[in-house]
Amino acid sequence: MAAHLKKRVYEEFTKVVQQQHEDLSAKKLRLTKPSKSAALHVDLCKATSPADALQYLLQFARKPVEVESVEGVVRILLEHYYKENDASVRLKIASLLGLLSKTAGFSPDCIMDDAINALQNEKSHQVLAQLLDTLLVIGTKLTENPSVRMRLVEVACKHLTDSSHGVRNKCLQLIGCLGPVEKGVAKEAESQSAKDVQKIIGDHFNDQDPRVRTAAIKAMLQLHERGLKLQQTIYCQACKLLADDYEQVRSAAVQLIWVLSQLYPESIVPIPSSNEEIRLVDDAFGKICHMVSDGSWVVRVQAAKLLGSMQQVSSHFLEQTLDKKLMSDLRRKRTAHERAKELYSSGEFSSGRKWGDDAPKEEIDTGAVNLIESGACGAFVHGLEDEMYEVRIAAVEALCMLAQSSPSFAEKCLDFLVDMFNDEIEEVRLQSIHTMRKISNNITLREDQLDTVLAVLEDSSRDIREALHELLCCTNVSTKEGIHLALVELLKNLTKYPTDRESIWKCLKFLGSRHPTLVLPLVPELLSTHPFFDTPEPDMDDPAYIAVLVLIFNAAKSCPTMPALFSDHTFRHYAYLRDSLSHLVPPLRLPGRKLVSSPVSTSITPNEDPSQQFLHQSLERVYNLQHLDPQGVQELLEFTIRDLQRLGELQSELAGMADFTATYLQCQLLLIKALQEKLWNVAAPLYLKQNALASAAAKQILEETYKMEFMYSGVEGRQVVIIHHMRLQAKALQLIVTARTTRGAEPLFGMCEKFLQEVDSFQRCFISELPHMQGSFVDKLLDLMPRLVTSKPSEVVKILQTTLRQSTFLHLPLPEQLHRATATIIEPTGESDNPLRFTSGLVVALDVDATLEHVQDPQGTVKVQVLYPDGQAQLIHPKPADFRNPGPGRHRLITQVYLSHTAWTEPCQIEVRLLLAYNSNRSKASAKIPKCTWSDSMEALPQSENGIEGTIPFSKPVKVYIMPKPARR
Amino acid sequence: MPEIKVTPLGAGQDVGRSCILVSIAGKNVMLDCGMHMGYNDDRRFPDFSYITQNGRLTDFLDCVIISHFHLDHCGALPYFSEMVGYDGPIYMTHPTKAICPILLEDYRKITVDKKGETNFFTSQMIKDCMKKVVAVHLHQTVQVNDPFKILFCFSAAWIDKCRPDLLISESTYATTIRDSKRCRERDFLKKVHETVERGGKVLIPVFALGRAQELCILLETFWERMNLKAPIYFSTGLTEKANHYYKLFITWTNQKIRKTFVQRNMFEFKHIKAFDRAFADNPGPMVVFATPGMLHAGQSLQIFRKWAGNEKNMVIMPGYCVQGTVGHKILSGQRKLEMEGRQILEVKMQVEYMSFSAHADAKGIMQLIRQAEPRNVLLVHGEAKKMEFLKQKIEQEFHVNCYMPANGETTTIFTNPSIPVDISLGLLKRETAIGLLPDVKKPKLMHGTLIMKDNSFRLVSPEQALKELGLAEHQLRFTCRVHIQDLRKEHETVLRVYNHLKAVLKDYSVQHLPDGSITVESILIQATAHSEDQGTKVLLVSWTYQDEELGSYLTSLLKKGLPQSTS
C-alpha cells in the first residue's frame, strides 16, 4: 500500500514538472521548484517520530512556495495527513494547507474536497478546528462561487454539534464569513439546506461555553458587515447577553445591540414590567449607557465609544446622560457646576469661598432617592469619572460626536468637558480640548468656564497649549471681561513660554476678528491712552505689545469707529506691522490714508471671483491659440505663465491651482523650445550646444512632472494622465537627444525597448482615458505602434521626432480643489549669530519645528535634509510620532535632528530643509502590487523596474551656524 | 444547614475600631483589629473579652486578616496580640505590613510620651506583633487551613461576578453622593495656584499618611504641569519614612502613577522638599504641608500663628476637624482666636475647606454590590441611622438580605453550600452522548452511583461502583399480568399484540422472537392461555427497574385492550 501511495506521489510530482516544461516562458528559477516538494516528501518519509515530522514541517513552513508548485506540495501533505497517527502532526499539516491555499494566484478549489473528506474522518477536536480554519481560508478565497460557499456552510452546520468549543467556534466563524447574504441566493439555497443562517447562529447565543457565545455574536456581526440585514428578533436575545458573566461576551453583545439600534432605530419595543413602549434606539441607548458602569473596563470602553455614534437617540434620553445629583447626609447638595452657574447668574463671581458654601440645602425624601441609576442616567458622568483613562477618552470622544449633532446637548455638556481640561492624564486633556474645538460653533463660553479653560494655558506641554490656542481661535466669548481675561492669560502665557509667540498672535487675530464689539470698549485700556496726557510710546519689538495690536487691528477691521481711538504712534505701528506681519494684520480703512490693495478685502464669493475667471480665461486663451506660429505660442505661454505666477502670489486660495497650471505650461514651453526646428537642423559641430539645451529641458520637464504629480493634493486621475503624458514626451525627447549624440545602434536598442515598454504600460494604466486624448502624442504613437516595434532604433527616433512635433497640446482639466504642499521651518530661525558649539565626533541635537500644509501621509514622505559646507548631505527620517495633526490638511513636525562633523577651524553655516520623498510605485496610476502572503518578504517580488524614487525640496532652506570644536585632551 | 456567623466587636453601627468576628465553615476569623480615635479609655479597643471568656484567643481564632493600614483598622493589633495574647497568623498585604508599624509607633508616642498614659503597648510589643504577620501579595491565594483560603483584591471588578454568600461593606458615606474627584481637585489646585501667584503662603495641615501623599502627588504633578517654581515643603520625618515605602509599592497605586513610573517614580518628589523650622520666615510664596491635621498642636499650629496675620496667605483644611480644635474654630468662621497666655490672634488669612476622603460614597457601595452580586450584604463602619437608609435601599434595589448588626450582636446567615462531586470522564461522556445536546436551561437526568468516601464525593457508573465496593449485581425485575379477552389461539394473540405494539411504539425496537415471546427494547412479553378460561389470555410483562418508565407505559397500554379492527 505504501509503495503504491509513493508511486502516486511521484506521478503527481512528475506531472508538475511536465507542466513546467510546457510553459515556454519559464525562467531558470522554476527548475528548482520540484525539488522543494520532493525534498518535503523525502523528509517526511524519513521522519521516524512525530516530533521529527513536526520539525520538518516547521522548517518547511518558513520558506515560501511558488504558485506553480503549491498543488504538488498540497498533495504530498495530504498523503501524509491520511497516514499520520499523531494528532499534532496532522494539526500542523492542516494549518499548512490553510497557509498554502492563501498563496496568491493559487486557486484552492481542488483541495477543498480533500479537506472536507479529511474533516469527516477526523477524531481529534483540535485538528477538526484547524481543518475548519483551513476551509475558512479556502472559502474566503473563493467567495464568488456560491455553491462552494453553500457546501462549506453545510459542513460547518454539521459540526456545530461538536462537543469541543474550539470546533463550534470555528464553525460559527465560517458561517459568519461565508453564510449566504443576498436574499436571492438564500431563497435558491433554501431547497438545499433549508436553513436560515441567522437562526443557526442565534441558537448558539445560549451555548454553554462563553467562547462559543462570543463567536456566535461575532459571526452575527460579520454577517452584518457583509451586508445581511439582521432580524429585529435577535434584539431581545442580545439584550439578555448584556448580563453575561464573561466580559468578552458582554463586549460583543454591546456591539450587536448597537448594530441593531442602527438598523431599526424607529421600531417600538415594550419596556418590561410596564405597559409603556419606546423607540428601539432609545432602549438600546439606555442599555449601552448602563454598560458604561460595567465591571470590566474593556466593556466600558466599548460602550462609551459606541454611544457617540447613536445620534438618532431622542434628546430627552441624551440629556439624562449628564444627570448628576449629589447629596450629603440625605440632604440635597448642589454640584460645583450648579454653584458656578448660580454665581454667574447672580452677577458676582470668584467670591472668597467659605467653609460650608457647598453646605447641603434641603432635605430629600428617602423614598425618592435613586442611588443607582438605571438606563441612560448619568452615563457620561460615570464615563468621564472612570478610573481608567481609556474609558475617559472614549467618553470624551462620544460626547464630542453627540454634541456635534445636537447643539442643546453641546451647551449642556460644556461644564463636563471643561472639567476634563484638568484631567490627570495629558492625552485626556488634549482630547477634550480638541473635542471642544470641534463643537465650538455650537457654544458660547461662560466666564467661569473660560476661567478654567484659560488656566490650562500655563500647561508645560506644548501640545496642550497649542491645542488651546486653536480652541480660542474659534471660541465665542460672551462678555468684554471674557476677552480681557483671555488676553491677560495669553500674555501671561507669552511671558512664560516665549516660543508660543506665533501661535498666540494667530489666536488673538481670530479672537479680535470674531468679537469686534467686545474689544471696542477695551481699546483705551489696552493701548493705555489717556484723554489729556500723552502716554509713552510702547516698545515696538515687544511681543506682548504686538499681540495686543494684533487683537485690536483685527477687531478694527469690522468696527470702523475704532481707529478714532488710536493715538499717532498706533498708526505708525500699524503701517509697520501691516508690512512685517501681513498675515496677521488685515488692511484697514484708516482716516486720511489711502487704502492699499483693497480688492482683496472685497466680499465676492469665489464662484464669481474675477481672479478665478481670469485664471480660466488665460487658460482658454492658451488652448485656443495653439495653431499660432511657434514664436507667438512661445510668447503667449511666457506671458500666461507670468500672469499665473503673479495670480498665485496675490490670491492664496488659488495659489495651488495657478502654480499647477503654470508648471504645466512651463513644461509645454520647454518642450516647444527644445523642439524648435532650427536648432535641429544646424550642423554637426553645433550639436553640443543644442544638445545641452534639449537634454536640460527634458530633465527639467521630468522633474516638474514629478512635482506636479506628488506635490499637489487633490490631483485626480485625469490630471495624472496628462502629467504622465507630458513625462512620456520628455522621455521621447531624451531618447531623441541621445540618439543624435551616441554612435552605434547598440545602446539605442535597449533604450528604445525601454521606451516602448513605457508606452505600453502607459496604455495599460490609462486605457480608459485614451479616448479623451485625440491627436495627442501618445494617440499618434499608439497608431504607429506596430511599425515601431518592428523598425530599427534610428527609424524609431525619426518617427518620434515627427510625432512629437505634430502632436497637439493637451488640455489640462482643473480639479475642484488643488493645493500645493508647502512647508515652513519655524525653528531654527536662521537668525542666530551665535554658533552652536559642540565637540567634534559627538552629536548635537538640533530642534526642528516646521508646519506642513497639504501633505498627504507626511509620516512616510517628509524627510529632513542637512547640507554641510563640504557638500556632504544627510537625510533624516523623522519618527512618525513627531508629526502632529492640528487641523485638516495641516501637519506639524517637531523633531530633533542629530548633527555631527569633524572639527572645523571656524564656525560655518549648514543648511536644513525639508524634502518630500516620492516613489512612482506609490503613484495613483500604477496598480497595487499584490502582497506576498508568505511570512518572509525576503524572496518577495523585486521592486518593479520603473519604480523611480526621488525627493522634492519643498521648503526654504534655513541656515544654522554651527561649530564643531576639536576634542580637548 | 451550613451557616456564617458574623459578630462585630467594633464598628458595628459605629465608625472606628473596626473589628469583625466571622465564623465560617467551622473556622473563626477576625477581620481587622482597629482602635477608636474618639476615646481615651478602654473603649478605644474592641472588647476582646467577648472571646476570652471562653479561653485563650489563639485557641479560638484561626487567623486575623487586616484590610489596610489605617489605625481604625489595625490600631489595636499590638494590644490584641501581645497584651491579650494571640499567637496565630495575622495576614496583611505587603504595603500594610510596611507602613502599619510606623503608624503604630507614632500613635504610641503620642499616647504614651505626650499624654503620659501608662498601661499601653510598648515599641517592643509592636515589633513582636509584626513578627506574627504573614505578608500576602495582591491576588495571591493563601491556604490558611484545609477548606479555607483568603485572597486580597483591589476591587470587586477583579473577580468577574464572584457572587459571594456575604459581602461585608463599610458604609461611612451611606447617605452621601459626592461630586467628581476632579472637581474637588481642581478647586484645590486653583486655590493654591492663585495664592502662590499672589505671593502668598499656603499652609495645608495634614495627618502624616494617606491623604497627605495623595495631596503631595497632586501638587507635584500640578507644579510639573504648570511649570511652577514656588517651593513646596513637607514637615516631619515620619512622612519621609512612609514616602520611602510608597516608592516601593508603585504597583499598588493608581493608573496615573503607574503610567508615569516609566519616566520616573512619582514619589521621588522633584518639587517637594523637607521642611525646616527656619523656612517659615522666608519671604516669597511657598506651600507647606504640616502635621497635625486639625491645627491643635505641633508644627502646623506654629506655622499657622506665624502666617495668620497676612491676608495674602491661606490655610486649606483637607479633612474633618473635631470640635474644640483651632481647625474647627476657624472653619466655623471665628476670626479672633484666644491662644495660650491670653494672647488674641487675629486671623486675616483665608481659610478654605476641602473634602478629600478615601471612603466610597453611597453610589460606590451600590455599584460594588451590583458588580459582585452577593447573596447577602452586611454593613459595618457607619452610623446606624445612615446605615438604615442604605440597608433599605439595597433591599429595595437588589432584593438581597441586608444586615447591620450592632457591636456584640451576632448575625447568622444560612448558606447553600456548593458541594463538589467528581464524575468519571467515561460516565460523563456516555451520559451526554445519550439524548439531546446539553442545554443550559434544562436540567439533565443522568444515571450513576454516588460514592461518599473519605470526605469526597464521586459519581461513577454502577458497574464500577459494584466493583469498587466488592458487591455482586442484583437484578430487580417487575412482572405484571394483563388479562385479555381473546378467543383465538395463543400465537395469534401474540401476533396481534405484536402488530399493535409495532404500530403504537414506532420509535422502539419491537421484536417477535421465535419462541413466541415479544420484546420491546429489553421488556419481555409472553402470552399464555388462562388455565380456567381459554377465552382469556394472560400476558406476562416483565421489565427491569431501569426500564420502569417504558414498562409501566406498556402495561397501561395493554390494559386498555387490543384494538378490534385489526382482526
- Collect all residues of chain B within an 8 Å Cβ-Cβ radius of residue A290: none
Among A494-498, A632-636, A850-854, A931-935, the least confident range: A931-935
In order, the DSSP letters of A42-66 are: HHHHH--SHHHHHHHHHHHHHS---
A351 touches chain B (CB under 8 A): no
- Residues A329, B332: C-beta atoms closer than 8 Å: no
A136-159 per-position pLDDT tens digit: 888 888 877 788 888 888 888 888
- pLDDT top residue among A735 and A12: A735
Chain B residue whose CA is closest to A326: B177
Q: How far is CA B507 from CA B501, B503, B519, in A?
A: 11, 10, 14
Residue A194 — pLDDT band, cuts 50, 70, 90?
Answer: very low
Residue contact B160–A326, C-beta within 8 A: no
Q: Tell me the sheet residues that pair with A4.
A: none
Residue listed under C-alpha cell 520611602: B244
- Determine the distance in angstroms separating the CA of A508 from the nearest CA of chain B, rounded to an integer: 22
| CA–CA gap between residue B68 and residue A607 (Å, rounded) | 73
Number of Cβ within a 10 Å radius of residue A363: 11
**3-state class (DSSP) for residue B148:** strand
Q: Calculate mean pLDDT across residues B36-58.
A: 80
Q: How far is CA A119 from CA A64, A159, A204, B215, B437, in A?
A: 26, 9, 22, 64, 21
Q: How far apart are the first and last CA of chain B?
A: 63
CB contact under 8 A, B157 and A352: no
Q: How high is the pLDDT of residue B171? A: 86
Q: Which residues of A touch B311 (CB under 8 A)?
A: none
Would the pLDDT of B228 be above 70?
yes
Q: In Å, what is the CA distance from B221 to each residue of A43, A374, A423, B260? A: 64, 36, 11, 10
Query: Rounded to whole angstroms, how far apart are CA atoms A954 and A360?
Result: 63
CB contact under 8 A, A419 and B182: yes
B-facing residues of A in 690-749 (CB < 8 A) are none
Cβ of B331 within 8 Å of Cβ of A369? The answer is: no
Instruction: Look over chain B and give the mean of its residue pLDDT values, rounded to a whole number.
Output: 82
Residue A28: predicted pLDDT: 37
pLDDT at A596: 46
Q: Which residues of B are catalytic?
A: 170
Closest CA–CA distance from residue B82 to any residue of chain A (Å): 40
- With cell 536644513, the residue in question is A912
| DSSP codes joined into one string, A842-855 | S-EEEEEEEEEES-
* Residue A619 pLDDT > 80: no
Contacts of A156 (CB under 8 A, 6+ apart): A132, A135, A170, A171, A172, A174, A175, A178
> Does the interface predicted TM-score (ipTM) exceed 0.85?
no
| Least reliable range by pLDDT among A353-367, A567-581, B424-438, B447-461 | A353-367
Nearest-by-Cβ selection for A295 from B160, B180, B350: B160
Answer for the pair A840, A965: CB distance below 8 angstroms, yes or no: yes
Q: Do A206 and B438 touch (CB under 8 A)?
A: no
Is residue B405 within 8 Å of residue B378, measured between CB atoms?
A: yes
Q: Closest chain A residue to B429 measured between Cα atoms?
A: A163
Give the start-end residues of each E strand in A660-750.
712-713
Least confident stretch, A342-351, A851-860, B198-207, B486-495: A342-351
Q: With the CA atoms of A717, A723, A726 and A727 taken in that order, what torsion angle do they form, in degrees rounded to the nearest 10?
A: -110
| Beta bridge partners of residue B528, listed in sequence order | B538
Query: pLDDT at residue A932 above 60?
Result: no
Please check whether residue A608 touches B, CB under 8 A.
no
Distance CA A40, CA A725 (A): 50
Is A240 an 8 Å CB contact of chain B? no
pLDDT above 90 for B96: no
Give the rounded percent of residues in chain B with a pLDDT score beyond 90: 9
Taking CB atoms and an 8 Å limit, are A327 and B175 in contact across chains? yes
pTM above 0.90, yes or no: no
- How many CA atoms within 13 Å lie on the side-chain side of A62? 5
* Nearest CB to B366 within list A245, A371, A459: A371
CA distance B202 to chain A (A): 15
What pLDDT was estimated at residue B567? 40
Bridge partners of B556, per DSSP, are none
Q: Is A355 close to B331, i.e. CB distance below 8 A?
A: yes
Q: Return the closest-CA partner of residue A185 out of A150, A231, A139.
A: A150
User: Model confidence at A392, in pLDDT bands (50, 70, 90)?
Assistant: very high
Which residues, numbered 285 to 324 in chain A, qualify as contacts with chain B under a Cβ-Cβ cut-off of 8 Å? 293, 295-297, 324
Per CB-CB distance under 8 Å, the chain A contacts of B224 are 460
Cβ distance of B160 and A246 shorter than 8 Å? yes
How many C-beta neighbours within 10 Å does residue A792 have? 12
Predicted confidence at residue A883, as pLDDT, reads 86
Residues of B in contact with A419 (CB under 8 A): 180, 182-183, 186
Distance, in angstroms, between B158 CA and closest chain A CA? 8
List all residues 6 or more positions away from A592 whose beta carbon is below 8 Å from its beta carbon. Answer: none
pLDDT above 70 (res B148): yes
Average pLDDT value for residue range B81-96: 89
Among A629-638, A880-889, B60-69, B232-241, whose mean pLDDT is lowest? Answer: B232-241
A198: CB partners within 8 A, 6+ apart: A220, A223, A228, A230, A231, A234
A363 DSSP 8-state letter: B
From A167-176, A195-204, B343-352, the region with the lowest mean pLDDT: A195-204
A427 at B interface, C-beta within 8 A: no
Contact yes or no for B370 and A372 at CB 8 A: yes
Given pLDDT bands bounded at 50, 70 and 90, which one contains residue A346? low
> Of the candidates A295, A326, A423, which has its C-beta nearest B371's C-beta?
A295
Contacts of B352 in chain A (CB under 8 A): 353, 355
pLDDT at residue number A606: 45
Q: Which residue of A has its CA nearest to B260?
A: A425
**At A397, is the pLDDT very low, low, confident or very high (cuts 50, 70, 90)?**
very high
Grouping H, G, I as helix, E, B as strand and the rest as coil, residue B412 is strand
| CA-atom Rg of chain B in angstroms | 38
Q: How far is B288 from chain A (nearest CA, A)?
A: 21
Per-residue pLDDT tens digits for A765-818 = 777 777 777 777 888 888 888 777 777 777 777 888 888 777 777 777 777 778
What residues in A contact B315, CB-CB < 8 Å?
none
Instruction: Decide if A237 touches B, using CB distance below 8 A.
Output: no
Cβ–Cβ below 8 Å for A328 and B175:
yes
| Phi/psi at A823 (5° precision) | -140, 140
Range in A21-30, B18-27, B418-427 with the lowest mean pLDDT: A21-30
To the nearest whole Å, the CA of B257 is away from the closest chain A CA by 10
